[in-house]
Structure 1
Amino acid sequence: MSTTLALDPPPAPPRSRRPVPVWLALVAASLPMFMATLDNLVMTGALPVIQRSLAPSVEQLQWFVNAYTLSFAAFMLVAAALGDRWGRRRVFVIGIALFTVASAAAALAQDPASLIAARAVQGVGGAAILPLSLTLLAGAVPERLRPMAIGVWGGVSGLGIALGPLIGGAVVEGMSWRGIFWLNVPVAVVAIPLVLVALRESRGRAQRLDLVGVLLAGVGVLLGVWGIIRADDDGWGSARVLTMLGASLVLLAAFVAWERRVPNPLVPLRLFRSRSFSVANTTSLAFAVGMFGAVFLLTQYLQVDMGYSPLEAGVRTLPWTAAPMVVAPLAGALAPRTGIRPLLLGGLVLQAAALAWLAVVTDGDPTYASLVPSFVLAGIGMGLTFAPSATAVLADMAEDDHAVASSTNATVREVGVALGVALLMAVFQAAGGALTPADYATGLPAALWVGAAIVAVGAVSALWLPRRSPAGNGASAGSMAPAGRMAPAA
């Protein structure tokens, strides 16, 4: 019996060759991506309010975030495969529409289970948005402008993630927590026509969909994250937790073995022969686990422990969240001159130092002013990470591999977000922390130290980024001659 699914594409529409201004292509690709990345953490500032409204358990509170990130991660590679076959712009638009419908369902949710289900469907829509936005952008701008375009794209991506708490807090305070989901509807109404006008249709290698690979990877990741979440309640040595974690490892090992032998793999393992691609994915995982797990906890710390409202807490994260908006485009512009490795390494070192600083400061009775320097340091570090990481992923890739390479990296990062929230929350609770003013600060420093250590591991792995390697074939990040350094713009 066949283990793959043949998906016949509809007839290809005629391709338009009319030139599109670079700024318009940037807006068309970046606006939906901003909407999808915003929803990674837009709920963090609203969680205390949602807790009072829907009375979820601590586990359900984590699933409000993890249901989105896990479905996001599980379906990105599927979306890339469908985009290669059906047309990337077509699948991109379908993703925007699905994301918007699920956002409306989340806004109408009346209980925790309904909200978790809507968030999971949102993640499926987002899975078609984030990786395909980079691929479509790379095909829409001239090669000499791609480093700049990827820098701006990275800045917008970082801005969407970083501004989640601020925008969530402002909407919650001005309207209600349901408003953070209604906000996506008018954005989609503008974004879909813009995409159809500014981005041309493109395709990659047409191949069968690897359903076995989808199931092995998706269920393996789900069980792993679920096991970590359950560990605090059941104990790390409990039969249920050990079974979940063991099954996760077995399924992920089976996924790798399957991908080695199937003729049409979901993730072609040959991509990992590129040292730049492998190291970029390693650093992305460490960055997401350490940093976004910490953001999840720190955004609530400003409300639960320090007593700020959702909007006040969001405004006070601005020294952190505003920095990537400025630094990421600069990093994209500097990459052709400095190379990728110094920027990525520097960004990860700054973030690890910022989390360690926060761990020291919060192990006491800090004022907000004492947090600001570490917030600034973390923001600069994030800005130095986004664009160089995206550039390194595509450095040695042929054009047909852009979508799957970008999707693989985005999948790794989203899995990292889910693992980070689960892992650092487990450390937080194991250290005596609870979602109450009296106990929140008790568990926070230990969780931040773990986050700092994980990001530091990512910084060490960045040292293995190659200085120079044979030219990538059609690399989208500016036709990089070396994997770790881009060729100068013509």
Structure 2
Amino acid sequence: MPEVRLASPQGRWILLTTVLGSSMAMLDSTVVNVALPTIGRDLGASLAALQWTVNAYMVTLAGLILLGGSLGDRYGRRKVFVIGVVWFAAASLLCGLAPTPGVLIAARALQGVGGALLTPGSLALIQASFHPDDRGRAIGLWSGFGGIGAAVGPFLGGWLVSGPGWRWVFLLNVPLALLCAPVALRHVPESAGEDRAHGPFDVLGAVLGALALALVTYALIEARGGSPAVALAAVAGLLAAVAFWHVEKRRPDPMLPLDVFASRQFTAVNLVTLCVYAAFGGFFFLTALQLQVVSGYSPLQAGVSLLPTTALMLLFSARSGALADRIGPRLPLTAGPLLCAAAMLLMLRVGPDADYVTDVLPALLVMGAGMVTLVAPLTATVLASVDTARAGLASGINNAAARAAGLIAVAALPLLAGMGPEAYRSAAAFDAAFRRAMPVCAGVLVAGAALALAFVRRPGPGCRRPECRTHGWVTAPPLERGDRRA
């Protein structure tokens, strides 16, 4: 039984390093969008290059995050967490020094590998290190500080872009890692899961999953050109997805056990997750550009503008989670997406010289209310829809599904909205495409609400752990890994 107490110096060091580690990956998911127009101008990048700046990170992160959790369970969570932090920092340094869009995109893909190693370990280290009597409070603090990090991310990104420059959005990770890694090595006890001695890793499954995501993403981003390479990539991506399914079905120890989807509730909630986080991914990618390209906001103003959504999540997610415990998840998972859909339609008011108070803020407040309503119950319902022993696997699948949905949305939405390669350089062209994109996002959310209404039912005893109810995650649900026994 772990014996570290939260009030002890070691307990505080453990909390610090896990918060720093998770914040590094989370900040990069929220601050980069604000920097995109400046990156594009400085490096002479096309819209497709900006999409890849976001998606190269998401491809490797979404494709490898389940494998990263398994590596920690097998070889030691602290060891894999520290390797992930160092890897992430090295890739961040390369991002910050990138002379061309191609180098930046490659470095972002490497960042995603580091994120896949460190992200699952952050919460798992808390669960494995703290005494059971302190674990709930420690997770609550971890979740709360993570929410603050998510809320501060857009503001920090805007400040860095407007001040020291966009490269510091990435370079900031280096000093954070220099603090995080030594603290982890000195103060965090090593731990591993029960599967330490199990069979070989499903490396083939991980490679096929990441390859399928990368090829489909490439086909969507480059589809405007209509070249044979695009069609070939699309077909190859679908074939890789089919091969992934066959590998996972037949392996004795798959990365993604397909029998977990035998739970109708689990399948339904993950379909809702795909709809919700696809819309969120497209919304935050395009809104950061719309505010700067069309409305004339500075990067700092655009970053500050986005604060209300995550601030509302941080302040009210716990109450939303408690309400869902009482009334069941069906109503929140139906009403929340509908509120977010309404917010995206309200964003159609945001055009040239948009006034923040009358045009932007109402949409973001409604968006925040919708996210508060649905995000915590979504996480809790996923974890309550499978056996307790598989809660870590369920959380990992749900987290990967959310990230993959955002990845596909960032690739597909500009194509569906008719954005040309240079659209973000023209306020009129981008504004017209944005007005076509927001109803698409709203439609995806309405589809998610319909799925929840039709298929989500009240599960057994819900997830009452703090990470299920109190968080400010924007781009994905909180990821729970590891042994949850006392």
Interval containing the TM-score (normalised by the shorter chain): 0.7 to 0.9
Taking structure 2 as the reference length, what is the TM-score of the superposition? 0.85
Residue 118 of structure 1 aligns with an amino acid whose one-letter code is A
2:5 is paired with a residue whose SS is: coil
Q: Is the 8 A contact 2:81 2:121 kept in 1?
A: yes
Segment of structure 1 superposing worse, 423-432 or 412-421: 423-432
Residue in structure 2 matched with residue 5 of structure 1 by the alignment = none
CA distance in 2 between partners of 1:276 and 1:131 (Å): 24
CA distance in 2 between partners of 1:80 and 1:29 (Å): 15
Residue in structure 2 matched with residue 376 of structure 1 by the alignment = 365
CA distance in 1 between partners of 2:360 and 2:91 (Å): 36
CA distance in 2 between partners of 1:97 and 1:353 (Å): 42
1:427–1:433 Cα change, 3 Å = farther
**Which residue of 258, 264, 274 maps to 2:253?**
264
- 1:335-414 alignment to 2 at 5 Å? 335-359=324-348, 361-362=349-350, 366-368=354-356, 369-397=358-386, 401-414=390-403
1:42 is paired with a residue whose SS is: helix
CA distance in 1 between partners of 2:278 and 2:220 (Å): 13
Q: Is the 8 A contact 1:131 1:410 kept in 2?
A: no
Pairwise CA distance, 1:139: 4.2
Q: Is the 8 A contact 2:31 2:157 kept in 1?
A: yes
Residue in structure 1 matched with residue 82 of structure 2 by the alignment = 93
Residue in structure 2 matched with residue 309 of structure 1 by the alignment = 298
**1:441 matched to 2:425:** no
Q: Is the 8 A contact 1:155 1:324 kept in 2?
A: no
**1:123 matched to 2:112:** yes
CA distance in 2 between partners of 1:345 and 1:159 (Å): 27
Residue 291 of structure 1 aligns with an amino acid whose one-letter code is F
Cα distance per residue 1:348-400 (max 9 Å; x no partner): 222122112223x2478743322211111112222333333332332255565
CA distance in 2 between partners of 1:322 and 1:414 (Å): 21
Cα distance per residue 1:282-307 (max 9 Å; x no partner): 22221221111111111111111111
Segment of structure 1 superposing worse, 61-70 or 336-345: 336-345
Residue in structure 2 matched with residue 466 of structure 1 by the alignment = 457
Residue 71 of structure 1 aligns with an amino acid whose one-letter code is T
Q: Is the 8 A contact 2:295 2:352 kept in 1?
A: no
CA distance in 1 between partners of 2:456 and 2:178 (Å): 41
Q: Is the 8 A contact 2:34 2:299 kept in 1?
A: yes
Pairwise CA distance, 1:430: 4.7
Cα distance per residue 1:298-319 (max 9 Å; x no partner): 1111111111111111122222
Taking structure 1 as the reference length, what is the TM-score of the superposition? 0.84
Residue in structure 1 matched with residue 205 of structure 2 by the alignment = 213
1:266 is paired with a residue whose SS is: coil
Cα distance per residue 1:63-121 (max 9 Å; x no partner): 11111111111111211221121122321222112111111111111111111111111
Pairwise CA distance, 1:194: 4.8
Pairwise CA distance, 1:267: 0.4
Residue in structure 2 matched with residue 47 of structure 1 by the alignment = 36
Residue 434 of structure 2 aligns with an amino acid whose one-letter code is L
1:70–1:323 Cα change, 3 Å = same
1:89–1:277 Cα change, 3 Å = farther
Residue in structure 2 matched with residue 483 of structure 1 by the alignment = none
**Which residue of 84, 93, 114 maps to 2:73?**
84
Pairwise CA distance, 1:443: 0.8
Segment of structure 1 superposing worse, 302-311 or 253-262: 253-262
1:372–1:478 Cα change, 3 Å = closer
CA distance in 1 between partners of 2:170 and 2:307 (Å): 22
CA distance in 2 between partners of 1:191 and 1:344 (Å): 36
CA distance in 1 between partners of 2:303 and 2:417 (Å): 22
Pairwise CA distance, 1:266: 1.2
Q: Is the 8 A contact 2:140 2:467 kept in 1?
A: no
**1:451 matched to 2:441:** yes
CA distance in 2 between partners of 1:152 and 1:330 (Å): 16
Residue 74 of structure 1 aligns with an amino acid whose one-letter code is G
CA distance in 1 between partners of 2:116 and 2:274 (Å): 17
2:296 is paired with a residue whose SS is: coil
Q: Is the 8 A contact 2:2 2:128 kept in 1?
A: no
Residue 227 of structure 1 aligns with an amino acid whose one-letter code is A
Q: Which runs of 5+ in 1 are unaligned?
A: 1-14, 481-490
Aligned length: 459
CA distance in 2 between partners of 1:461 and 1:153 (Å): 32
Q: Is the 8 A contact 1:228 1:422 kept in 2?
A: yes
CA distance in 2 between partners of 1:27 and 1:347 (Å): 33
CA distance in 1 between partners of 2:335 and 2:267 (Å): 19
Q: Is the 8 A contact 2:344 2:439 kept in 1?
A: yes
Residue in structure 2 matched with residue 34 of structure 1 by the alignment = 23
Pairwise CA distance, 1:478: 7.6
CA distance in 2 between partners of 1:19 and 1:134 (Å): 16
CA distance in 1 between partners of 2:125 and 2:394 (Å): 13
Residue in structure 2 matched with residue 286 of structure 1 by the alignment = 275
Pairwise CA distance, 1:185: 2.1
More helix, by proportion: 2
Residue in structure 1 matched with residue 55 of structure 2 by the alignment = 66
Could you say what the CA RMSD is over the residues aligned between the two structures, in angstroms?
3.1
CA distance in 1 between partners of 2:438 and 2:3 (Å): 51
- 1:148-163 alignment to 2 at 5 Å? 160-161=149-150, 163=152
Residue in structure 2 matched with residue 228 of structure 1 by the alignment = 220
CA distance in 2 between partners of 1:191 and 1:233 (Å): 44
Q: Is the 8 A contact 2:47 2:421 kept in 1?
A: no
CA distance in 1 between partners of 2:6 and 2:299 (Å): 40
CA distance in 2 between partners of 1:92 and 1:27 (Å): 14
Segment of structure 1 superposing worse, 79-88 or 190-199: 190-199
**1:18 matched to 2:32:** no
The sequence identity of aligned pairs, in percent, is 36
2:417 is paired with a residue whose SS is: helix
Residue 330 of structure 1 aligns with an amino acid whose one-letter code is R
1:18 is paired with a residue whose SS is: coil
Cα distance per residue 1:403-457 (max 9 Å; x no partner): 4333222211111121111111212335999111232211111111111111222
